[in-house]
DNA sequence: CCGGCGGTTGACATT
DNA sequence: GAATGTCAACCGCCG
């Protein structure tokens, strides 16, 4: 094999950037004669991950921006988007393009490990050398787990201790200044099209989907697909993707040394919009249009020079990145069980409503759920659609759906409300909604935060419960945020903005909006209509706290044999009004 | 094995 | 208006 002039494929996945990409820099250090920067459309991504139209758009923004940056370095180059599953594409591609090396950034989620393991195997069979470099997190997640005595990182303390053993967080690398030519791009092999019998994205896909029309796309030019090609609805988010934008946002943040050095997450306002109180860099970290180490060291540089008193992890800006590493470490260690309660050694078992259906063969969640309680289903539906009758919750859910982003504390509020602090619905239901709608959806962080907020892992102070009335008042007494996202309440007196059902009917009429019904009705005559609250919150809070206390005293975790075989039901009192009854739930169909 | 303390982001009353 | 204490009482961590 002519390794003297390597012909390299650089496989972009969750690292859509040129700055600080250890894997890309390594690929270039091979002095390739030929370099193909490619993306492959993985059917697992296209049909099995929940991706709303806003996140699709953000991804395409990132791909377009990256492709333009590659072309700026070499007019012959670009991001070559190939429409086939990597597991079937690569053997054909290695042969067709005479490839000697395949380089990509390490990914440690359960599916990615499986996929990449297969690709590495295929490369070995083809005599292609594979180089994998970590770069997605501050620390290599596997190394972090290893230094945490081989256990999942479940507290920020553990991350800091394990991180200290690993050593300094790598300094960012410069973007390449030149790029080798790509070789010939003929593809004289047959495209293998994926089976489309399942489509997790039928929701955002309201048009004809044509992702796999041809290997190099409809025009045969390997172009980044359009929204129309993917069949996705137009995005409603104002947030835009791409490395150029990410670096500009970062520049603006670090230019404000007070903001950067004294940032304390719990003090930032979840009610702030235009501009938001936090950085909005999370979607860029997800798609890799910003390197987390670039972010870390740029912020640390400001902190080191700062004359005043700087904030410290975990509440500081760099602390936020440590939490991200914590969740990646837990995910890397627990693999498929991380994303579910069932079989998860770290996740408490709580007999929530609407529990996940479990595939009895694999022990994995199927994406469907049991409807054990009609009232809980109605509450979940109203929560999802932003018509709970609690303006703070509804405003957040509407912002989430429209813009694909809500403030971290807003996520706390709606997650607590759906699970342990209101509806007593399974955190996995909430995580699925966030998975679809968030532009910054990062499986590790989303799952970890849902476990945190539902007090099933990472956190356990279930008696600290967010009030949909008191909590937002800490930042926004006037209710400006609610008025923006629930415009039917725009003219309500601040006194009633978080509990409009308390406003006298005469006032409701003079403010043009009646408080009634369940949110199905939007207007009545000349009046707008906003729903009544779907339950009495203080009552629900008490019921939930009591039920949590009981479930904690039973003390089961997801991998307990009694959870696995369904006999957990005997440990809960079915007759009590404490939401501990379980007529339905895991494991699927095996408890009777 | 114990007790005390702190835990990214509670609510409410009091100072 | 900010800071502190109390509520009831969870866990992980440290000595």
Instruction: Encode burial over A213-252: b for 16+ CB neighbours within 10 A, e otherwise.
Output: eebbbeeeebbbbebebbbbbebebebbbbbbbbbeebee
β-bridge mates for residue A513, sequence order: A528
As a rounded value in angstroms, the CA-to-C1' distance for A97 and B14 is: 75
Span A106-121, average pLDDT: 98
Q: What nucleotides of chain C have any atom within 7 angstroms of a protein Cβ?
A: 8-14
CB of A462 nearer than 7 A to strand C: yes
Which nucleotide has its C1' atom closest to residue A465's CA?
B10
Instruction: Name the pLDDT band for A576 (thresholds 50, 70, 90).
Output: very low
pLDDT greater than 90 at residue A585: no
Average pLDDT score, chain A? 94
Instruction: Name the pLDDT band for A529 (thresholds 50, 70, 90).
Output: very high
pLDDT greater than 70 at residue A463: yes
**pLDDT value, residue A583:** 43
Which nucleotide has its C1' atom closest to residue A155's CA?
C12
As a rounded value in angstroms, the CA-to-C1' distance for A464 and C6 is: 14
Q: What is the largest CA-CA distance in chain A?
A: 85
Q: In chain A, which residues fall in CATH 1.25.40.80?
A: 244-334
**CATH of A7-135+199-228 among 3.40.47.10, 3.40.50.300, 3.40.50.620, 2.102.10.10:** 3.40.50.620
| Per-residue model confidence as pLDDT tens digits over A536-575 | 999 999 999 999 999 999 999 999 999 999 999 989 875 4
Angle between helices A317-334 and A292-305 (to 10 degrees): 150
Range with the poorest average pLDDT among A62-76, A81-95, A188-202: A188-202
CB of A157 nearer than 7 A to strand C: yes
Question: What are the structure tokens assigned to A474, written together?
Answer: 């800490």
Peptide bond into A314 cis (omega under 30): yes
**CATH of A244-334 among 1.10.357.10, 3.90.1150.10, 1.25.40.80, 3.40.190.10:** 1.25.40.80
* A321 within 8 A of A295, measured Cβ to Cβ: yes
CA nearest A94: which of A69, A138, A130, A145?
A: A130
Q: Residue ranges of the alpha helices (H) in A74-155?
A: 86-96, 110-126, 141-147
| Per-residue model confidence as pLDDT tens digits over A142-194 | 999 999 999 999 999 999 999 999 999 999 999 999 999 999 999 999 999 99
Written out in words, the top-level CATH class of the domain with range A340-466+538-571 is mainly alpha
Q: What nucleotides of chain B have any atom within 7 angstroms of a protein Cβ?
A: 7-12
As a rounded value in angstroms, the CA-to-C1' distance for A371 and C4 is: 46
pLDDT greater than 70 at residue A200: yes
Q: In chain A, which residues fall in CATH 3.40.50.620?
A: 7-135+199-228
Question: Which residue lies nearest B8, CA-to-C1' measured?
Answer: A315
Q: In chain A, which residues fall in CATH 1.10.579.10?
A: 340-466+538-571
Question: Which residue lies nearest B7, CA-to-C1' measured?
Answer: A459
| Per-residue model confidence as pLDDT tens digits over A19-50 | 999 999 999 999 999 999 999 999 999 999 99
**pLDDT value, residue A3:** 52
């Amino acid at each position: 094999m002519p390794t003297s002039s390597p012909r390299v494929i650089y496989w972009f996945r969750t690292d859509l950037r040129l700055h600080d990409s250890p894997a890309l820099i390594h690929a270039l250090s091979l002095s390739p004669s030929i370099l193909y920067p490619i993306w492959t459309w993985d059917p697992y991504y296209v049909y099995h991950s929940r991706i709303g139209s806003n996140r699709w758009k953000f991804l395409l923004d990132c791909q377009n921006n990256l492709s333009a940056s590659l072309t700026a370095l070499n007019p012959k180059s670009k991001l070559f988007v190939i429409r086939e599953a990597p597991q079937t594409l690569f053997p054909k591609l290695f042969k067709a393009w005479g490839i000697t090396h395949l380089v990509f950034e390490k990914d440690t989620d359960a599916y990615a490990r499986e996929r990449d393991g297969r690709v590495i195997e295929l490369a070995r069979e083809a005599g292609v050398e594979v180089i994998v470099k970590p770069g997605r997190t501050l620390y290599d997640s596997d190394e972090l787990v290893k230094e945490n005595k081989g256990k999942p990182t479940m507290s920020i303390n553990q991350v800091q201790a394990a991180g200290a053993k690993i050593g300094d967080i790598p300094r960012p690398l410069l973007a390449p200044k030149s790029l080798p030519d790509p070789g010939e791009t003929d593809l004289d092999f047959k495209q293998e099209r994926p089976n489309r019998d399942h489509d997790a994205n039928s929701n955002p896909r309201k048009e004809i989907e044509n992702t796999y029309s041809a290997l190099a796309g409809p025009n045969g030019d390997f172009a980044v697909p359009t929204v129309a090609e993917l069949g996705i609805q137009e995005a409603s988010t104002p947030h835009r993707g791409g490395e150029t934008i990410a670096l500009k946002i970062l520049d603006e943040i670090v230019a404000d040394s007070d903001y950067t050095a004294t940032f304390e997450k719990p003090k930032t306002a979840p009610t702030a919009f235009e501009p938001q109180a936090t950085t909005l860099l999370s979607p860029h970290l997800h798609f890799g249009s910003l390197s987390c180490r670039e972010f870390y060291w740029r912020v640390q540089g400001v902190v080191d020079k700062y004359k005043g008193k700087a904030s410290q992890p975990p509440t500081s800006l760099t602390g936020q990145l440590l939490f991200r590493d914590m969740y990646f470490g837990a995910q890397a260690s627990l693999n498929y069980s991380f994303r579910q309660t069932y079989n998860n050694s770290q996740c408490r078992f709580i007999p929530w409503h609407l529990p996940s259906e479990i595939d009895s063969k694999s022990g994995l969640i199927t994406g469907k759920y049991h409807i054990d309680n009609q009232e809980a289903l109605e509450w979940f539906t109203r929560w999802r659609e932003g018509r709970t009758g609690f303006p703070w919750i509804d405003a957040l859910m509407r912002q989430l759906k429209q813009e694909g982003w809500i403030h971290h504390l807003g996520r706390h509020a709606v997650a607590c409300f759906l699970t342990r602090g209101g509806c007593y619905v399974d955190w996995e239901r909430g995580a699925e909604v966030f998975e679809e709608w968030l532009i910054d959806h990062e499986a590790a962080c989303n799952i970890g935060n849902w476990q945190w907020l539902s007090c099933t892992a990472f956190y356990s102070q279930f008696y600290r419960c967010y009030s949909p009335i008191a909590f937002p008042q800490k930042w926004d007494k006037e209710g400006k945020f609610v008025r923006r996202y629930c415009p039917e309440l725009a003219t309500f007196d601040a006194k009633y903005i978080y509990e409009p059902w308390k406003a006298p009917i005469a006032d409701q009429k003079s403010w043009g909006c009646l408080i009634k019904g369940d949110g199905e009705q939007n207007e009545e005559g000349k009046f707008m209509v906003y729903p009544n609250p779907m339950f009495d919150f203080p009552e629900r809070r008490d019921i939930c706290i009591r039920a949590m206390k009981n479930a904690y005293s039973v003390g089961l975790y997801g991998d307990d044999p009694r959870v696995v075989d369904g006999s957990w039901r005997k440990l809960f009192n079915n007759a009590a009004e404490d939401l501990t009854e379980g007529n339905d739930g895991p494991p699927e169909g095996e408890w009777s």
